[in-house]
Structure 1
Amino acid sequence: MTPRRLPAFAAAILAAALSTSTTCATAQLPNTILFGAAYYDEYSPVDRLEQDVAMMQAANITVVRIAESTWGTLERQEGVFDFTHVDRMLAAMHKAGIKVIVGTPTYAIPTWLARAHPDVLVERPNGKAPYGPRQNMDITNPEYRKAAERVIVALVDHVKDHPAVIGYQLDNETKAYDTSGPNVQAAFQQWLHKRFPDLDQLNHAFGLNYWSNRINRWEDFPSVNGSINASLSSAFAEFQRELVTDFLGWQADLVRKHARQGQFVTQNFDLDWKDASYGVQPVVDHFAAAAKLDIAGVDIYHPGQDKLTGAEIAFGGDLTRSMKGNRNYLLLETQAMGFPHWTPYPGQLRLQAYSHIASGANTVEYWHWGTTANAIETYWRGLLAQDYQSNPTYEEAKQIGAELRQLGPKLVDLHKQNRVAFYVSNRALTGYNAFKPAGNAGYNDVLRPLYDALYRMNVEADFVHPGTEDLSRYKLIVVPALYAASDAEIAKLNAFAKAGGHVLYTFKSGFSDENVKVRYATQPGGISEAAGVRYTQFTNPDHVALAGDPYKVGKDANQARWWMELLTPTTAQVVARYQHPVWGKYAAVTRNAYGAGEVTYVGFMPTDALAGKILEETVKRAGLWGPQQTLRYPLVVRSGVLNNGRAVHYLFNYSAEAVTARNPFGAGVDLLTGRGIAAGAGVGLGPWGVVVLEDGNRAWASATRPDADECAMRPHYVHNDRSAMR
């Protein structure tokens, strides 16, 4: 039997979700680092636009983002538009030489739309969303799409010819918002039917015989909101991620149809959240969604004051740069003052700005300019507090702006040549999180300690994903918790090792296939041969250490956490065994020669200190230990190639104490001060200090360019002449 005929609405959802088209465009960006903030004339307590612009000019602000939050102001009633605030802002910014990114205001619906069409409010597993919060709509709803198209077209048509407008931000931190109403369920059913034309195939692949979950007729297909089957739930999560990709692609096509040639399209992706931006976003496939854009954008927030490490800045930047094959990106939101516990110490705002640029950001934009006087974000402060007067954070921004006015054209378009990559997967994330080990630690809790360990030893990394075809530019790939993966994925990683690469797999890798069905094979499945290990049992560690403290980290750090696999080597060398009266005969860490390369397997979750030592050893064996590694956190080094072809090294002091670091690179010049720094000379960095060292002896002559992606044969953007800026 085949599924029942879908309503037109659900059929449209399905067609959109199955779409894989990618649009490429050439967009123009000013040839400098843009520095700015989100600005809302609509929120101002009084008419102070002229005064705000004067303060922006004093701070050398070169870009603002407007309009993405103000649908109810732009369209007062259905089809009744008022662009007064937009026109005021565009006129004032253009007069001051400030460029403008216009946001489509579709993430916060107006009251009249919710009243006229209450079905636009998203239906989640726990019921219908109330009006009030943002992002409470169903992005697949036809009335929502109709209204969104009307406001997008009206806004873009109104602003596209204004000379201040350089591009558009689509929506805001877009997600599917757990949409799971009847029409979405019906569209998901059809989506599954495309993958599994035969119900027997579906029942077998997902193991639906369990607890009588078997589906014998498509007409009997239940809502997945109550599913206890990880395969079905993971497939629905993938479907919802595709809805986000479609929604952004739909907006991108619509904006491009009406925009002026040369204006770019971006989106401000956000990351998984754990008191700040933390890890891979579970509910959006950023790599697929970024393919719909001209340039990727991101919002990165991070701990502050004594908890500021820069790790979140580096992680978010490296991930966003990797979304479009090692291409520069736009930082569209980050904190100025932010929450009260984020209020920056003197020097931290400047340190943060250059840390973003050191990852490849071509903009630094704060959320936001002036802090709101009411509503939920009253205590999320911008560059100015509610009094809109100068303050230490604003004064520090003035210093950053003045420096970027001079250095922006040199620092823009930093190119990274990293040889280490993390392999990340939304499918693996969803599958792993369905069966979290002891301590409720999720996928990102495995990923981040490994990334942070490399960050602390100044080993920079990119991110690759299941769709990455060519891994050959890398020498080491770190694979955290690849719980759900196809045979082809694992074969690609193993082939990378066999050809001479180094791979480090962690526990819970290779365990299930792409449908989150546990492999009927010796574990760790297709990894077993390459890693030279097998296991049949696993457990949760309870005071289990590594025998003999092989990494010399001390008793407290020499511990297994959360999960441990009882590894038996077949061809692998045992690097470490468990210290335990019962489990002591099993391996904990192994290393296996595989073809021309090497595979390391870590069968447990290490402490942060252990993770650092294991990764240090692996990096050295991959031949990637270099001059950067003579410096360690809190001295952070981020390197790349400037657009003039010369190497540049950003040296950061992530501490409140002044330090002196020995320059491990060639003789060069600190671009911030103009002082020469000899090779091997001491480099003084004050508390939260920054040095930007242009290496005078090293020119980049390689023809290597950013990784190929779906549009790599033609540029995603070009630069206007610098004269386009004030």
Structure 2
Amino acid sequence: MRILGAVGLSLTAVVSLPAAAQLPNTILYGVAYYDEYTPVDRVDEDARMMRAAGITVVRIAESTWGTLERQPGVFDFSHVDRMLAAMHRQGIKVIVGTPTYAVPTWLARTHPNVLVVTPQGRAEYGRRQNMDITDPDYRAASERVIVALIDHVKDHPAVIGYQLDNETKAYNTSGPNVQTAFVASMKTKWPSLDAMNKAYGLDYWSNRINRWEDFPSVNGSINASLSNAFATFQRSLVTDFLTWQAKLVRAHAKPGQFLTQNFDLGWRGHSFGIQPEVDHWKSARPLDIAGIDIYHPSQDKLTGAEIAFGGDVTRSMRNGQNYLVLETEAQGFAHWTPYPGQLRLQAFSHLASGAQMVEYWHWATTANAIETYWRGLLSQDYKPNAVYAEASTVGADLKRIGPKLAGMSKRNRVAIYVSNIALSAFDSFKPDGGVDYNQVLRPFYDALYRMNVEVDILSPDSTAKLDDYKLIVVPALYAASDAEIGRLNDFAKRGGHLLYTFKSGFSDENTKVRYATQPGAIAEAAGVTYQQFTIPEGVTLDGDPFGVGETDNTARWWMEMLTPTTAKVVARYKHPSWPASAAMTRNDWGKGEVSYIGFMPSDALVERIVAAEVERAGVQPTLPGVRFPLIVKGGTLKNGHRVHYVFNYSASPQHLSFTRGGTELLKTRKVAAGAPLSLIPWDVAIVEEDGR
């Protein structure tokens, strides 16, 4: 135990990444572990059980600030020391989390201002992530505990890296201090109040701001432009906070130790879509390697789509860099208890998207508090069980082939373009009873997933080159600048294929509806316009042009009555009042092609539409004709060989064959070209092709 004085709050600055920060040259397999939570003293026994199961890394400390710092400046690192010593004896590496996402009681008592103020008022103490990440007292206390912790552990040989905070967001912070900071940012962005009023349409209902002193709290705003500018500002607070932490940790860490963060995704009972509260592409910049938390349906609902989507997002945050899965389920909720074989299937599914680590939350189930029924690898008795036994088979496989699988690279030819600004704008005007942006996005992603077309996820802040892709799918780009849309249109003009969906191009980057024939800046490239739209009731496509059958040949949620200018009609609506309106069009644009879907198709229709666009773009799945429940993903290993992960996401045996021969790595057997490869229910195979 030691006592430190207060450390002053440092300022955020641009962080340069050290080239020396790197991971071990293998796949890491791990768990989060909390000696503080265990019902008895068993850290050495847990470490021995981990080693026996092939666990090679643990994450510690990120949620135990109140244990590390019992009173201001009074530190007790005994639990940390015990975990480091026990893991090191078993050859297990450690990632240390900064404990800033769950504030201690003394901080809330001495500085109640650290508790976040939202539109609903100041938060009560109790839940985690109840703080204002901009508050100076919170920052000062955070700096003190971070510096003390990093200085204490950095020289320990087990420590390989640090996790900054935990699933960081702004937590809807919107108190007077944040409102003041927002106004300051608006002054920088809009030196002229007249320009801001015009850009945001603030003359409506006398919302006009004539003096900066009159700028009201945004909490009561009915103006989507202003509200979404504030949402963008809130996302910037997350980037600022993580950049500040990265600079602080890097200043105290040992060279070679990496920095990561466990981002999470949008949530619909499980990880689902783009995170509305964080700009992942910006917030990942100060890190050495991006991390993600992915939780997904299991049992009969396990499809692997959530695993793949979360992985593709995280890999794309840093333009194709491999990433870490810092949290995923072992048992989790009662309805997630995996069937035999599913834990293996899930683990290798993460690796197939480019993960360099799979880590469970967490080792064993807590006996107290809100997550009592969120189970870890072990249950409350901390004894070996069926899930632990299956995890041990994964650990044994990774010990043998992890070095070969590490560092796999991908070169995908299809991308999906997403935007936080478009998400906020779309969700300000949700169609058909609350359908949100992610509900539009995911069916298009899932269709590509089911047909085994791998994708990257692009955003306005991506550094990837558009011309690296043959097809870019753009769902619901409701708000975007002319320049942003121009970059996409120019991709098509140079020879690419571009697929826009409904409600794209409707408003500019300030969520101000374009004073133009819709779809605004997309209209010329897509060769189509519209003036009317509605919520479809009993609307189908004339003649079932995609052959999906009567039940699925439907428009849902939204429909625009399209009028082609230069485009060809791909499908028309079937409705007595709108018999001539086009539903989908396709237009030659320069050397390429732009398609536009004016409605939300059924899932079956989405798949047929996307399949046609993939074919027109000249993209071939790895194994043509193979589709869900057989999923094939892969890339290129460090030795130059192609590798294919093959998954059976079903309770029935599945069979397929490869055109090229290779070696199935899990069972160490040769696979002849054209020979059948059989998978039992919930099975996985990994085939390394012969030759480069």
User: In the TM superposition, what is the alpha-carbon distance from 1:69 to its structure 2 partner?
Assistant: 0.5
> What corresponds to 1:505 in structure 2?
500
> What corresponds to 1:410 in structure 2?
404
Q: 1:276-355 residue pairs with structure 2 within 5 A?
A: 276-355=270-349
Paired residues of 2:202 and 2:223 also in contact (CA < 8 A)? yes
Question: Which amino acid is the alignment partner of residue 113 of structure 1?
Answer: L
Counterparts of 1:57 and 1:482, CA distance in 2: 48
> What corresponds to 1:637 in structure 2?
632
> What corresponds to 1:156 in structure 2?
150
> What corresponds to 1:82 in structure 2?
76
Q: Answer yes or no: is 1:516 the counterpart of 2:514.
A: no
**Corresponding residue to 2:591 among 587, 596, 617:** 596
Paired residues of 2:117 and 2:132 also in contact (CA < 8 A)? yes
**Corresponding residue to 1:100 among 84, 94, 105:** 94
Map Cα deviations across residues 3-60 of structure 1 (whole Å, 9 max, x no partner). xxxxxxxxx99x96xx7x3432220211100001000000000001111111101101
Q: 1:1-12 residue pairs with structure 2 within 5 A?
A: none
Residue correspondences, number: 682
Q: Answer yes or no: is 1:539 the counterpart of 2:534.
A: yes
> What corresponds to 2:5 in structure 1?
none
| Secondary structure class of the residue paired with 2:227 | helix
User: In the TM superposition, what is the alpha-carbon distance from 1:662 to its structure 2 partner?
Assistant: 2.2
Paired residues of 1:432 and 1:481 also in contact (CA < 8 A)? yes
Counterparts of 2:385 and 2:514, CA distance in 1: 59
User: In the TM superposition, what is the alpha-carbon distance from 1:223 to its structure 2 partner?
Assistant: 0.2
Q: 1:219-230 residue pairs with structure 2 within 5 A?
A: 219-230=213-224
Question: Which amino acid is the alignment partner of residue 72 of structure 1?
Answer: G
> What corresponds to 2:612 in structure 1?
617
Q: Answer yes or no: is 1:24 the counterpart of 2:26.
A: no
Counterparts of 1:47 and 1:29, CA distance in 2: 31
User: In the TM superposition, what is the alpha-carbon distance from 1:626 to its structure 2 partner?
Assistant: 3.9
Paired residues of 2:452 and 2:621 also in contact (CA < 8 A)? no
Question: Which amino acid is the alignment partner of residue 211 of structure 1?
Answer: W
Counterparts of 1:327 and 1:50, CA distance in 2: 35
> What corresponds to 1:658 in structure 2?
653
Counterparts of 1:25 and 1:604, CA distance in 2: 47
**Corresponding residue to 1:167 among 161, 169, 182:** 161
Map Cα deviations across residues 113-146 of structure 1 (whole Å, 9 max, x no partner). 1011111000000001000000000000000000
Question: Which amino acid is the alignment partner of residue 185 of structure 1?
Answer: Q
**Corresponding residue to 1:646 among 641, 644, 651:** 641
Where structure 2 has 5 or more consecutive residues not aligned to the other structure, the ranges are 1-8
> What corresponds to 1:386 in structure 2?
380
> What corresponds to 1:484 in structure 2?
479
Quick one: structure 1 residues 399 and 70, their matched pair in 2 at CA, closer, same or farther if it must change by over 3 Å? same
User: In the TM superposition, what is the alpha-carbon distance from 1:213 to its structure 2 partner?
Assistant: 0.1
> What corresponds to 1:494 in structure 2?
489
| Secondary structure class of the residue paired with 1:23 | coil
Q: Answer yes or no: is 1:272 the counterpart of 2:266.
A: yes
Question: Which amino acid is the alignment partner of residue 644 of structure 1?
Answer: N
Counterparts of 2:56 and 2:620, CA distance in 1: 39
> What corresponds to 2:367 in structure 1?
373
Question: Which amino acid is the alignment partner of residue 532 of structure 2?
Answer: Q
Paired residues of 1:577 and 1:587 also in contact (CA < 8 A)? yes
Counterparts of 1:363 and 1:346, CA distance in 2: 22
- Which structure's relative contact order is higher, taking Cα pairs within 8 Å and 6+ residues apart? 1
Paired residues of 1:640 and 1:648 also in contact (CA < 8 A)? yes
Q: Answer yes or no: is 1:577 the counterpart of 2:572.
A: yes
Map Cα deviations across residues 154-173 of structure 1 (whole Å, 9 max, x no partner). 00000000000000000000
* TM-score, structure 2 as length reference: 0.98
Map Cα deviations across residues 201-222 of structure 1 (whole Å, 9 max, x no partner). 0000000000000000111000
Q: Answer yes or no: is 1:401 the counterpart of 2:395.
A: yes
User: In the TM superposition, what is the alpha-carbon distance from 1:623 to its structure 2 partner?
Assistant: 0.3
Question: Which amino acid is the alignment partner of residue 598 of structure 2?
Answer: G
> What corresponds to 2:140 in structure 1?
146
Counterparts of 1:589 and 1:637, CA distance in 2: 30
Map Cα deviations across residues 656-700 of structure 1 (whole Å, 9 max, x no partner). 11111122x410110001111122211110110111000114x1x
Superposed CA RMSD in Å reads 1.0
Paired residues of 2:648 and 2:682 also in contact (CA < 8 A)? yes
| Secondary structure class of the residue paired with 1:249 | helix
Q: Answer yes or no: is 1:551 the counterpart of 2:537.
A: no
Counterparts of 1:679 and 1:693, CA distance in 2: 11
Counterparts of 2:65 and 2:146, CA distance in 1: 10
User: In the TM superposition, what is the alpha-carbon distance from 1:245 to its structure 2 partner?
Assistant: 0.2
Paired residues of 2:517 and 2:529 also in contact (CA < 8 A)? yes
Paired residues of 1:40 and 1:66 also in contact (CA < 8 A)? yes
Paired residues of 1:459 and 1:628 also in contact (CA < 8 A)? no
| Secondary structure class of the residue paired with 2:531 | coil
Map Cα deviations across residues 320-345 of structure 1 (whole Å, 9 max, x no partner). 00000010000000000000000000
**Corresponding residue to 1:58 among 46, 52, 58:** 52
| Secondary structure class of the residue paired with 2:468 | coil
Map Cα deviations across residues 516-561 of structure 1 (whole Å, 9 max, x no partner). 0000011101100110000011111001000000111111100001
| Secondary structure class of the residue paired with 1:30 | coil
Q: 1:439-450 residue pairs with structure 2 within 5 A?
A: 439-450=433-444
> What corresponds to 2:453 in structure 1?
459
Where structure 1 has 5 or more consecutive residues not aligned to the other structure, the ranges are 1-11, 700-726
| Secondary structure class of the residue paired with 1:656 | coil
Counterparts of 2:343 and 2:56, CA distance in 1: 17
User: In the TM superposition, what is the alpha-carbon distance from 1:302 to its structure 2 partner?
Assistant: 0.2
Paired residues of 1:541 and 1:561 also in contact (CA < 8 A)? yes
Paired residues of 2:293 and 2:328 also in contact (CA < 8 A)? yes
Question: Which amino acid is the alignment partner of residue 208 of structure 1?
Answer: L
Question: Which amino acid is the alignment partner of residue 510 of structure 2?
Answer: N
> What corresponds to 2:462 in structure 1?
468
Question: Which amino acid is the alignment partner of residue 25 of structure 1?
Answer: P
| Secondary structure class of the residue paired with 2:644 | strand
Counterparts of 2:396 and 2:402, CA distance in 1: 10
Counterparts of 1:452 and 1:28, CA distance in 2: 33
Counterparts of 1:629 and 1:244, CA distance in 2: 42
User: In the TM superposition, what is the alpha-carbon distance from 1:627 to its structure 2 partner?
Assistant: 4.3
> What corresponds to 2:257 in structure 1?
263
Q: Answer yes or no: is 1:237 the counterpart of 2:237.
A: no
Counterparts of 1:583 and 1:114, CA distance in 2: 61
| Secondary structure class of the residue paired with 2:642 | strand
| Secondary structure class of the residue paired with 1:583 | coil
Paired residues of 1:153 and 1:258 also in contact (CA < 8 A)? yes
Paired residues of 1:662 and 1:682 also in contact (CA < 8 A)? yes
Counterparts of 2:111 and 2:47, CA distance in 1: 39
| Secondary structure class of the residue paired with 2:524 | helix
> What corresponds to 1:134 in structure 2?
128
Question: Which amino acid is the alignment partner of residue 636 of structure 1?
Answer: I
| Secondary structure class of the residue paired with 1:36 | strand
> What corresponds to 1:712 in structure 2?
none
Counterparts of 2:567 and 2:671, CA distance in 1: 47
| Secondary structure class of the residue paired with 1:211 | helix
| Secondary structure class of the residue paired with 1:184 | helix
Question: Which amino acid is the alignment partner of residue 18 of structure 2?
Answer: A
| Secondary structure class of the residue paired with 1:599 | strand
